[in-house]
Chains A and B, each alone.
Chain A
């Protein structure tokens, strides 16, 4: 009995390998709990769209101002790595959808397997991203790592290296070899968008690991799979953002 006199609603486990789910006391029915959580999560995903939307607006604005800078900048990225990462994320979206489906049909082992494969996809994605970042950092095209490199207060050596965009190989130039206007801009937008996206990949992978812990305990089954469903939605959003990032950054139109 809860304080307001209602019985706690318990969703029974469909088998011995599962545990029952007790509906939170502030909900009257399992349906209400499910629909409230779904509505809240879709609202959160809407704010995510707006977060990335601001960055996409910045991209379109500067792409329109400096198309040549963006074209040459895009050529510095390896589109093959971008295409591999796109495929990895699409495949991991499929494994996540299959994981949710397995939870909906009370298939514990399959849920675990598909979740593990999704995390594997996240790891492959981030490893590829790491090597891409590493190369761009070494070429002096990135913002963060060069902020305070070799900075000498007396200016005796490496004077001026406080400028974070060093472009050591002089790649951001036009066909005559002259530096492009605001050559750093493409990479500033590239690193901001992909780093925030990458953060979502890491958070998503962490959430899926948390789901796997629940799967191991038998918490998710046909009667109650809400957290699996919501984490699945989050993972698909990560894929959704990348679907736009890939052509805009690697195949600059």
Chain B
């Protein structure tokens, strides 16, 4: 059980689910306002050409927004250590998936046609029409 200040009453002693953190409405509203502002920032940032950094910026803003949702809306800030470890470990395993997938891709031969990023191909080549069999 996390040791934190809780402002709810514990009149029933152990006939409760335990220590609850009841957040103030104002806190939730502030988080919502920041999330909406960051959404606008995401749109504005996408309109500016930062080159390859655009992806990094978009993911950075999204990560900040996600952290706000997890910490405050999902109450993770006041949750137990085991729950924090269980949930956040999913991001650790996710990073393994990303690192190995993208490392594989980054170290492949690039002369394979599959890797031609702007190859001009006919529509027939890209979407071959299926062979139509005669009706017997």
Chain A positions near chain B (C-beta within 8 angstroms): 9-12, 29-31, 33-35, 38-39, 42-43, 45-47, 49-50, 53-54, 56-57, 60-61, 64-68, 79, 83, 86-87, 90-91, 93-94, 96-98, 101, 104-105, 153-155, 159-160, 162-163, 165, 174, 176, 178-179, 181-184, 222-226, 232-233, 236-237, 239-240, 243-244, 246-248, 251, 253
Contact = CB atoms under 8 A, between A and B. Distances in A.
Which applies to chain B's interface (DSSP): helix, strand, loop or mixed? helix
Contacts of A49: 87, 90-91, 94
Interface residues of B, number: 72
Interface string B37-58: 0010011001000000011011
A223 B58 contact: no
Interface of B: 1, 8-9, 12, 14-18, 20, 22-23, 25, 28-29, 31-32, 35-36, 39, 42-43, 46, 54-55, 57-59, 61-62, 65-66, 69-70, 72-74, 79-80, 82-83, 86-87, 89-91, 93-94, 97-98, 101-102, 105, 114-123, 126-130, 132-135
B36 A42 contact: no
A182 to B, nearest CB: 6
Which applies to chain A's interface (DSSP): helix, strand, loop or mixed? helix
Contacts of A56: 94, 98
